[in-house]
Structure 1
Amino acid sequence: MEEELHQAALKGSVPALLELLRQHPHILNGTPSLSDTPLHVAAILGHSAFAAELLTRSPELASRLNLQGSSPLHLAAAKGCVEIVKSLVLVNADLGLVWDRDGLTPLHLGVIKGRVGVVAELARVRPEAARVLTQGGESGFHLCVKHHRFEVLKVLVGCVGKDDDFVNWRDGDGNTVLHVAVAKKQLEVINYLLDNTKIEVNAQNSNGFTALDVLSHSTRDLRDLEIKESLQYSGASKFIKKAPSVMFDQDTVQVPTTMQPLMSKRRSLRQLVFKPKQKEVDWLGRKRSSLMVVASLIATVAFQSAINPPGAVWQSDYLEDSNGNPVDKPHHAGQSVMADTEPSLYGLYMISNTLAFLSSLSIILLLVSGLPMKRRRWMWIQMVIMWVAITALTATYFIGLIFMTPQQQKGGYLYHVTQVSVLVWMALMGIVFFGNVVRAARWLLRKYGCMKKKPRDDSLDEDYDIDDL
C-alpha cells in the first residue's frame, strides 16, 4: 500500500489517491515519521492538486519532518510552488518559522533559490518570518546579497519596511548587508540600500572595518570608483588609517609620531624621500604586459607575411611549355612569386621578416620563461629586442611596398613621400636606440667607478639626514 501511495504521489494522480483512500481509509496515518511523506513528494515535484487533496484528508502531514528536518513547506519554498505554499500556510502558518537541520527556514530557502512569489507569500502570512535569522546568525538580507537575489531583496525590504532598523543586523562576523554587498561589488544593491533604507553607512564589523574600508581592502574592480562615489555621497568614511611609512628596499620603517611634522616639510619632495618600490613593481608589470601584447601582435603579422608574401604564391606547377619542352624559369605550386621575379628583393624581405618574427618570439619566451627578469636592466634588454622587431617589421613593409608598386608609379610624388616617411621614421628609431645605448653605457661606467656618480642635491637634506631614520 505504501508503495502504491508513493507511486501516486510521484505521478500526482488524485484519482489514484482517492482509490487508495477508498480501499484503505487510514493509509495516510500509517506513513512512518522521519521519512518523506506523500506530501513531501508532492511538494518537491509541484503537484499542487495532489497536495491540496492530501491536506484536506490529513492536515497533520503539513507538520511532518523528513530525515533532513525539512517540512513539506521547506521543499515547496525551495521548488517555488506558490500554490502549495499557500495551501500549507493556510493549514499551519507557524511552519514558516521552523528551521531545518541546516538552520534555514522555508523563507530562507526561497531567498537562496530566488523564489520571489514564495518569499512574498510567506512574509505576508507571517511578517515575522522575514526577521527570523539562520542558525549562523544571518538575516534574509545577507542571504539575498550572498546569492545575488536583488529582486528578492526588494521584496524583503518592502515586507520589513524601509524605515526599519532590522536592515542593519550584523551577522556572526559583524558584517551588515552593506559590508557584504561592497565585498561582492554589487553596485545596484548598494545604491538601492543607500537610497531606500536606513542602512548605517559607517557601521563597523568585528574587524573595525566600515563599508569603505572593505572596499579599499578588496580586490580591484572596474566598479570600485562608482561604489566609492556612492558611499562617499551618503557620508561614508574610513575608520582604519595607516601610519605614514618610508620604504627602504623591501623593508618598511614606520615613522615615529614626533617626526611626522618634520617629514611633512619633505612630503612635496619625492614623497617622503623615496618613491615606494611597489610603484616600480607596478611600472615593470605594466611594461611586461605591454611587451607581451605588442610582441604577440608582431609575431602574428610576421608569420602571416611569411606564408603570404607580396605577389602571393604560384597556383600551379609550370615545368614544361605546351610542346613539352622545359621552360627557362620553372616553378612549383605554393612557391613565392616574388622569389622568382625579384630574388634579391625577396631575400631582403625574408631576412627582415624573419628577424621581426624571431625577435618577437624571443620577447614572448623571456616573459613566459619564469626567469627572474623583473629588474629594469632586463626590461631594457627586452625593449631593445622590441626595437629590433619593430624596425625589421618596418623594413618588411617597405620592401613589400617596393615590390607591389608598378614601375611606372615609382617616380610619382606619393611614392617618394612614402619613401621619405619610412626613412625618417627609421632614423627616429635609430636616434632613440642610440640615446638608450648611451644611457646604458653611462650607467655601467658609473656602476664600475669609471665615471663619477651624479651629484646629490644637498638641499633635499637640509632638515634631516635619511640615515637618521
Structure 2
Amino acid sequence: MDELLLRAAMSGNVRELKEIARQNPEILLGKTPQQSTCLHVSLLFGHEEFSKAVLALNRSLLFTINLDGETPLVVAVTNGHLSLASTMLKLYQQLNLSDMILKQDNNGDNALHHAIYNGHSDLALELIAAELGLSQGMNKYNESPMYIAVSRGFNDVSEKLLEIPVSSHCGIYNRNALHAAVTNRNSG
C-alpha cells in the first residue's frame, strides 16, 4: 500500500484520501503485507468519514478479505466500532452480499461470534436480524454463537438465537448451550 494512503487511512484524513485518489484511483486497491486495504485500516481506527469516503470512491473494497480472513465488517466489529459495523452490515444487505456477512475468519468466527465475544449484544441482535445464517456458524473450537452467548450470560442474544430453528447450539469439548447454561447458573 502506498505510504501516503496508509497514513491517511490511519489518521482518517479524507482530504488527503481524495487528493491521492484524484491523482491515481487505482492506488486505493493497494494492500499492506497483511493484505489489508485502506478500508480495513480505516475501520481498525474507527474513521467513519474516511471509510464512507473511500467506499464512495471504490465500492469494490467491500469485497476484500485480509490474511486473517477478516472482511471489513469483521474488522469493525472486532475493534468495537459499532456504528461502522452497522454501516458495513447495511451496505452488505443493500448489495445482497449475504456471503460477505456470513464470512468466517481464519479461526472460523463470523461477525456474530465477534460481537458476542466483545460484549456488543445490540450489534449481535442487529446481525441476527440481518442474517439468520450467522446462527449456524461454528468456529475452529466448535463454538456456536448460541454457546458463546449462553456462556457469557447474554440472555437477550441467546433467546433470539433460540427462536431460529436451525441455530447451532454446539460448544467446546462436545458440550452444548444447555451445558453452558447449567455451568453459568451453578457459578453465578
- Whether TM exceeds 0.5 here: the answer is yes
Distance apart, 1:172 and its partner CA: 5.0
CA contact (8 A) 1:108 1:140 kept: yes
Distance apart, 1:127 and its partner CA: 1.6
Q: Which residue of 1 aligns with 2:48?
A: 48
Distance 1:68 1:129, change over 3 A: same
Alignment of 1:410-425 (within 5 A): none
Distance apart, 1:87 and its partner CA: 2.9
Q: What is the CA–CA distance in structure 1 between the aligned matches of 2:19 and 2:57, rounded to whole Å?
A: 13
Give the letter aligned to residue 157 of structure 1: E
Q: What is the CA–CA distance in structure 2 between the aligned matches of 1:160 and 1:175, rounded to whole Å?
A: 17
Distance apart, 1:126 and its partner CA: 1.1
Normalized against structure 2, the TM-score is what?
A: 0.83
CA contact (8 A) 2:29 2:37 kept: no
Alignment of 1:362-373 (within 5 A): none
Q: Which residue of 1 aligns with 2:25?
A: 25
SS, match of residue 26 in structure 1:
helix
Alignment of 1:158 onto 2:163: no
Q: What is the CA–CA distance in structure 1 between the aligned matches of 2:43 and 2:135, rounded to whole Å?
A: 22
Q: Over aligned residue pairs, what C-alpha RMSD do you find?
A: 2.5
SS, match of residue 180 in structure 2:
helix
Q: What is the CA–CA distance in structure 2 between the aligned matches of 1:63 and 1:156, rounded to whole Å?
A: 30
Normalized against structure 1, the TM-score is what?
A: 0.36
Among 102, 106, 127, the alignment partner of 2:132 is 127
Higher radius of gyration, 1 or 2: 1
Q: Deviations over 1:311-348 (max 9, x none)?
A: xxxxxxxxxxxxxxxxxxxxxxxxxxxxxxxxxxxxxx
Q: What is the CA–CA distance in structure 2 between the aligned matches of 1:8 and 1:121, rounded to whole Å?
A: 30
Distance apart, 1:158 and its partner CA: 2.0
Distance 1:114 1:172, change over 3 A: closer
Give the letter aligned to residue 108 of structure 2: G
Among 86, 100, 105, the alignment partner of 2:105 is 100
Distance 1:70 1:180, change over 3 A: same
Q: Which residue of 2 aligns with 1:69?
A: 69
CA contact (8 A) 2:146 2:161 kept: no
Give the letter aligned to residue 118 of structure 2: K
Q: What is the CA–CA distance in structure 1 between the aligned matches of 2:166 and 2:66, rounded to whole Å?
A: 36
Give the letter aligned to residue 38 of structure 1: C
SS, match of residue 60 in structure 2:
helix
SS, match of residue 173 in structure 1:
helix
Distance 1:128 1:174, change over 3 A: same
Alignment of 1:14 onto 2:14: yes
Deviating more after overlay: 84-93 vs 9-18:
84-93
Percent of pairs with identical residues: 27
CA contact (8 A) 1:33 1:64 kept: no
CA contact (8 A) 2:10 2:41 kept: yes
Distance apart, 1:38 and its partner CA: 1.0
Give the letter aligned to residue 44 of structure 1: L
Can you give the 5+ residue segments of structure 1 that lack an aligned partner in the other structure?
188-214, 216-220, 224-469
Distance apart, 1:145 and its partner CA: 3.6
Q: What is the CA–CA distance in structure 2 between the aligned matches of 1:9 and 1:64, rounded to whole Å?
A: 16
Q: What is the CA–CA distance in structure 2 between the aligned matches of 1:28 and 1:165, rounded to whole Å?
A: 40
Q: Deviations over 1:372-403 (max 9, x none)?
A: xxxxxxxxxxxxxxxxxxxxxxxxxxxxxxxx
Give the letter aligned to residue 104 of structure 2: W
Can you give the 5+ residue segments of structure 2 that lack an aligned partner in the other structure?
none
Q: What is the CA–CA distance in structure 2 between the aligned matches of 1:70 and 1:29, rounded to whole Å?
A: 16
CA contact (8 A) 1:145 1:181 kept: yes
CA contact (8 A) 1:82 1:117 kept: no
**Equivalent pairs, count:** 183
